[in-house]
């Protein structure tokens, strides 16, 4: 998620519990051409002993070159390939979640990337969706291609591109993929609490879970996940004062990474997620959403009731992007006519600049 999984937020989440924290999406072209923003996004927190990068691209040769750069220059330990983006500006060019429809193209990309990373002993995984829509399903073929090309695992978001982030994730598709391939399958979709993660693994047999929107404003979710998978009782949800302490820590990490002014600007979008459901007045919320310095933030946080309990009404509720399903997924002309795609020029489906 753009501007969310930066080094500061990953450090904050890692402080809460065990896990693998993947950086913001890097485009292969941005990396190869030396885009400054792309390079700045390849920063890692001190507690990230395992460097994990989310890489996106549509050209096999460019992806292989990007994999070499990540391994040689940035010493990454894991590369995750993103084939799940549902954004129209990407799908209309043949990228993101619609690319797996072109099975041969997907195979070429995975083969080139896995071979390049294997030289350095770095595992490659991929993430995808169920398909373009219910009539154009791709996940089983994508899973078999991932297995055949040497991917270490495949993550499945239990929604189609047409659903975007609406409705409910179909966990039965995750279970079907587990039965279909003999590489680890990671489940993704509608994990809002630790209990959801346990339920997903029990219902689907997936090897692990992938958290996206569920951790927005709730980095302590990883603490709860670590407890749940270790069979330990889940700790109580944080009070408003404890949430304020986490937010304050988040702000200081951002200031260290980005500078105080830019760091506090970045923090603004997190405010509504942190305080959702808490008794925080409208005027205070507006001021928090415009905070511009650590001193101002501390003064505002000092006005909150530290003993206010976590709002149980928010447990299990979706967080972040939702919206409605798309009436029609925007695709390149003739995209559904065949499943090859090796000769297509998809250059416009990948920008020089990373993020997303």
b vs e for 288-312, b when ≥16 Cβ sit within 10 Å of the residue's Cβ?
A: beebeebeebeebbeebeeeeebee
Is residue 65 a contact partner of residue 36, using CB atoms and an 8 Å limit? no
Is 85 one of the annotated active-site residues of the chain? yes
Helix axes 60-72, 103-118, angle to 10 degrees: 20
Rounded Cα gap, residues 173 and 291, in angstroms: 43
Buried b (16+ CB within 10 A) or exposed e, 149-159: bbbbbbbbbbb
Termini Cα distance of the chain: 6
DSSP H helices, the chain, are 7-16, 28-32, 36-41, 60-72, 88-91, 103-118, 139-148, 171-180, 194-204, 221-229, 240-258, 260-267, 271-275, 282-288, 294-301
Of 84, 79, 75, the C-alpha closest to 54 is 79
Q: How far is CA 146 from CA 62, 133, 190, 313, in A?
A: 19, 21, 24, 40
Using CA atoms, how far apart are residues 295 and 46, in angstroms rounded to an integer?
25
User: 23, 85, 206, 215: which is the annotated catalytic residue?
Assistant: 85
Of 30, 118, 37, which is closest to residue 79 (Cα–Cα)? 118
Asked if 155 and 81 count as a contact pair (C-beta separation under 8 A), the reply is no
| Among 42, 50, 43, CA closest to 21 | 50
* 196, 218 contact by CB (below 8 A): no
The two beta strands, 136-137 and 131-133, are antiparallel
From the CA atom positions of the chain, what is the Rg in Å?
Answer: 20
Structure tokens at 208: 């692990």
Residues belonging to the active site? 85
């Amino acid at each position: 998620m753009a501007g969310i999984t930066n080094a500061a937020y990953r450090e904050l989440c890692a402080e809460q519990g065990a896990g693998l924290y993947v950086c913001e999406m890097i485009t292969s072209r941005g990396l190869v051409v030396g885009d400054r923003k792309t390079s700045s996004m390849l920063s890692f927190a001190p507690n990230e002993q395992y460097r994990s990068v989310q890489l996106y691209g549509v050209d096999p040769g460019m992806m292989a070159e990007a994999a070499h750069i990540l391994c040689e220059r940035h010493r990454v330990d894991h590369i995750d390939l993103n084939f799940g983006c549902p954004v129209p500006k990407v799908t209309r060019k043949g990228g993101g979640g619609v690319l797996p429809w072109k099975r041969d193209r997907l195979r070429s990309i995975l083969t080139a990337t896995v071979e390049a990373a294997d030289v350095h002993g770095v595992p490659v995984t991929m993430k995808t969706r169920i398909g373009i829509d219910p009539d154009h399903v791709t996940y089983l073929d994508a899973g078999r291609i991932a297995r055949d090309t040497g991917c270490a695992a495949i993550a499945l978001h239990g929604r189609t591109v047409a659903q975007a982030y609406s409705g409910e994730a179909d966990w039965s598709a995750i279970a079907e993929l587990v039965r279909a391939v003999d590489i680890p399958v990671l489940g993704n979709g509608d994990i809002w609490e630790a209990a959801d993660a346990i339920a997903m693994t029990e219902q689907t047999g997936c090897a692990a879970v992938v958290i996206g929107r569920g951790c927005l404003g709730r980095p302590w979710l990883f603490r709860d996940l670590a407890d749940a998978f270790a069979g330990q009782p889940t700790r109580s949800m944080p009070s408003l004062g404890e949430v304020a302490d986490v937010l304050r820590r988040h702000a200081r990490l951002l200031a260290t990474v980005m500078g105080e002014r830019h760091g506090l600007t970045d923090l603004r979008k997190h405010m509504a997620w942190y305080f959702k459901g808490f008794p925080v007045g409208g005027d205070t919320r507006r001021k928090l959403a415009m905070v511009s310095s650590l001193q101002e933030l501390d003064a505002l946080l000092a006005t909150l009731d530290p003993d206010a309990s976590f709002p149980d009404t928010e447990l299990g509720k979706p967080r972040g992007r939702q919206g409605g399903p798309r009436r029609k997924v925007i695709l390149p002309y003739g995209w559904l006519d065949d499943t090859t795609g090796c000769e297509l020029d998809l250059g416009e489906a990948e920008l020089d600049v990373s993020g997303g």
